[in-house]
Homo-oligomer: A and B are copies of this chain.
């Protein structure tokens, strides 16, 4: 299986299988991001939401609900909820990271300003809570409120830990759950809950989303030290230049001798980078097998995601989610 066919298939197949549902999700999103009084809200929301994002998270919710036999209306609300939470965190992330590009386009904080990004993000958070309340399920509310807290906590942790060489793999995992996996796992779990699936299936869906999110983030870390810019929209070395302690670096730092450690202190903690530093970082990552070890971790999380789905009855959607897990790491294997 070439990387290209692996790359598009699972998302496209999911998209086709869930087309009617996604259409309703998109209508609901457009309806709820409106504001009678403040036109800047739909302007900024549309800038992000209609920028051609893959809608991966809402599709996870729809797929989980359908896989568990749901035929009510509320998986659509939950899918829109998840997309709103995701969009709100993107708006705030771009302010926090002072980003000027997202999905190949200028960010909202650049086109408008930080103020608008902060407040429109708050508005979308509030709208996401309104949407989930419409399901009438306190269990769903609990899961999504907990996810929102985990996301924010992970982001704060990243703020204080991302450039600190004491950050170990445990802290890394907490940050990754916050920035990626918590919303993935909430997206799949609430799909099962709204379908009233048995507890073991709900747990399996949580585990799938959690492991998929972690594999996804580790793959992202790896691509930054060796992925092709065209395929990912990322340039090699972005994380390095932003002095982010990603998994390959954490693994290399854990095995660094005094001289290597001094290098990492200079480029990551102190941020004093010069020409050739990225190349030297790549040499150190290779010397300690850090890329291979991180790749093995990503593959292990993928296997865990796939294994979890065995608890759910077989279906086409289940096969697509299994393929999706494979695709996440196909980019790095």
Contacts and interface: CB of A to CB of B under 8 A. Distances in A.
Protomer copies: 2
A153 interface: yes
B37 A152 contact: no
A130 B37 CA distance: 29
A155 to B, nearest CB: 5
B133 A142 contact: yes
Contact of A123 (B129, B156, B174): B156
Contacts of A114: 95-96, 114
Contact of A116 (B40, B129, B156): B156
A136 interface: yes
B118 A174 contact: no
A125 B119 CA distance: 13
Which of A39, A114, A123, A142 has the most chain B CB atoms closer than 10 A to its own CB? A123
Q: Is the interface of A mostly helix, strand, loop or mixed?
A: helix
A155 B116 CA distance: 9
A130 B153 contact: no
Nearest to A39: B160
A311 interface: no
Given A116-B159, A153-B37, A160-B40, A148 B126 contact: yes
A38 B142 CA distance: 21
B125 A35 contact: no
A15 B10 CA distance: 60
Given A118-B118, A130-B145, A123 B152 contact: yes
Interface of A: 35, 37-41, 89, 92, 95-96, 114-116, 118-120, 122-123, 125-127, 129-130, 133, 136, 138, 141-142, 145-146, 148-149, 151-153, 155-157, 159-160, 171, 174
Which 7 A-B residue pairings sit nearest by Cβ, starting from the closest? A126-B148, A123-B152, A126-B149, A122-B152, A129-B145, A38-B156, A96-B115
16 contacts: A37-B153, A38-B153, A89-B122, A92-B119, A95-B115, A96-B115, A119-B155, A122-B125, A122-B151, A122-B155, A123-B152, A129-B145, A129-B148, A130-B146, A133-B145, A141-B141
